[in-house]
């Protein structure tokens, strides 16, 4: 399993020893990525690091007036022969087919990448990769990987995204209070008391679950089942700490059974988190009954 870094800095040399490639946002076409680059910057990185796999995220809804710019961007990314384009809006897939582009695509429909049948459908449409939803269990991920020819990716470290609203919620909130706007806000859900981090950019407001995902234990299973890629997201982590975590994840390939427990403890200590998300817990949402009725 290859390790892909979603960097929060432009110190790209720092990541090379422990990763196989990068995931960058494309300026004006991505949401929720710290490292968002222009096409010119992506071209310079591709030239400087020819052996690294370069993925670019186009993970936002596309408006009609953006289609010409998107078309030009996809043609350029195709010419650069990057490894793949993460897509949310089906306009990206439609344009690849219409233009006869060779660039590989990554199905990145957030909470929708949950079953092998749909993965196989997208493979038939020319999609090579898929980022599996963080809201399904590890067993379900393994089942999907075994039943599809799509190359599956899994988030291993990072703060999971919960939702994206096109509304400028922080702008409206601080305007209502008559206060200067901030770009982030920590909130607490009143029933579960779980904390979420809200971040606003030009495309709206993203909600992140404020517990750091520790996918180390799941990584051992993913390796044994020949998953293609694991993603480590540096967002909101100190740079040196992230590099240490990345180095530790690279070591997993060389572990024997007796070394695994010590390695798991090492990762947990580095992350300061034993939160495993939905890897070992099914996602069950229930509508709360109104007791007054």
> Residue 39: what pLDDT?
97
Per-residue model confidence as pLDDT tens digits over 186-206: 888 888 888 888 888 877 888
Do 154 and 236 fall into the same domain?
Answer: yes
Q: Which of 133-147, 154-168, 214-228 has the least mean pLDDT? A: 154-168
Find, among 183, 222, 32, the residue nearest to 108 by Cα. Answer: 32
Do 178 and 49 fall into the same domain?
Answer: no
Do 33 and 68 fall into the same domain?
Answer: yes
Do 37 and 51 fall into the same domain?
Answer: yes
Percent of the chain topping pLDDT 90: 72
Do 117 and 154 fall into the same domain?
Answer: yes
Spatial distance between the Cα atoms of 101 and 98, rounded to a whole number of angstroms: 8
Could you tell me if residue 61 is left (phi over 0), alpha (psi between -120 and 50 degrees) or otherwise beta? beta
> Residue 86: what pLDDT?
97
Domain membership of residue 176 (yes or no) is: yes
Strands (E), 111-258: 129-131, 151-158, 161-165, 184-188, 195-201, 204-209, 213-214, 229-233
Q: Over 90: is that where the pLDDT of 228 sits? A: yes
Do 56 and 124 fall into the same domain?
Answer: yes
Q: What is the mean pLDDT of the chain?
A: 92
pLDDT band at 214 (very low <50, low <70, confident <90, very high): very high
> Residue 138: what pLDDT?
97
Q: CA of 153: how far to CAs of 97, 128, 133, 164, 223, in Å? A: 23, 11, 9, 21, 12
228 close to 1: Cβ distance less than 8 angstroms: yes
164 close to 196: Cβ distance less than 8 angstroms: no
Do 98 and 53 fall into the same domain?
Answer: yes
Domain membership of residue 27 (yes or no) is: yes
28 close to 42: Cβ distance less than 8 angstroms: no
Q: Over 70: is that where the pLDDT of 124 sits? A: yes
Q: Over 80: is that where the pLDDT of 293 sits? A: no
**pTM of model > 0.75:** yes
pLDDT band at 264 (very low <50, low <70, confident <90, very high): very high
Q: Over 70: is that where the pLDDT of 288 sits? A: no
Do 149 and 49 fall into the same domain?
Answer: yes
Q: Over 70: is that where the pLDDT of 269 sits? A: yes
Do 51 and 147 fall into the same domain?
Answer: yes
Domain end position, chosen among 173, 194, 210: 210
pLDDT band at 95 (very low <50, low <70, confident <90, very high): very high
**DSSP3 helix / strand / coil % (the chain, rounded to 5):** 40, 25, 40
Domain residue limits at 104:
2-159+213-271
What pairs with residue 21 in β-bridges? 4, 53
CATH code at position 224: 3.20.20.70
Do 119 and 264 fall into the same domain?
Answer: yes
> Residue 285: what pLDDT?
62
């Amino acid at each position: 399993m290859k390790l892909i870094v979603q960097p929060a800095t432009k110190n790209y040399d720092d990541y090379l020893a422990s990763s196989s490639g990068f995931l960058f946002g494309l300026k004006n076409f991505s949401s929720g990525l710290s490292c968002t680059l222009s096409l010119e910057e992506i071209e310079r990185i591709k030239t400087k690091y020819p052996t690294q796999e370069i993925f670019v995220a186009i993970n936002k809804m596309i408006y009609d007036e953006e289609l010409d710019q998107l078309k030009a961007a996809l043609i350029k990314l195709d010419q650069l022969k990057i490894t793949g384009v993460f897509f949310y809006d089906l306009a990206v897939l439609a344009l690849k087919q219409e233009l006869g582009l060779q660039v590989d695509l990554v199905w990145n429909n957030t909470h929708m990448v949950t079953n092998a049948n749909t993965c196989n459908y997208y493979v038939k449409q020319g999609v090579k990769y898929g980022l599996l939803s963080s809201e399904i269990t590890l067993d379900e991920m393994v089942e999907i990987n075994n039943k599809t020819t799509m190359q599956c990716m899994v988030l291993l470290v990072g703060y999971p995204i919960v939702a994206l609203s096109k509304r400028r919620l922080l702008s409206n909130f601080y305007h209502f209070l008559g206060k200067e706007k901030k770009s982030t806000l920590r909130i607490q859900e009143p029933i579960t008391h779980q904390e979420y981090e809200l971040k606003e950019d030009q495309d709206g407001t993203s909600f992140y679950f404020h517990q750091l995902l520790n996918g180390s234990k799941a990584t051992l299973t993913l390796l044994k089942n020949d998953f293609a890629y694991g993603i480590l997201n540096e967002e909101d982590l100190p740079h040196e700490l992230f590099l240490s975590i990345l180095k530790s994840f690279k070591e997993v390939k060389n572990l024997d059974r007796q070394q695994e427990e010590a390695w798991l403890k090492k990762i947990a200590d580095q992350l300061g988190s034993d939160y495993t998300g939905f890897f070992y817990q099914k996602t069950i949402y229930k509508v709360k009954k109104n007791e007054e009725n």
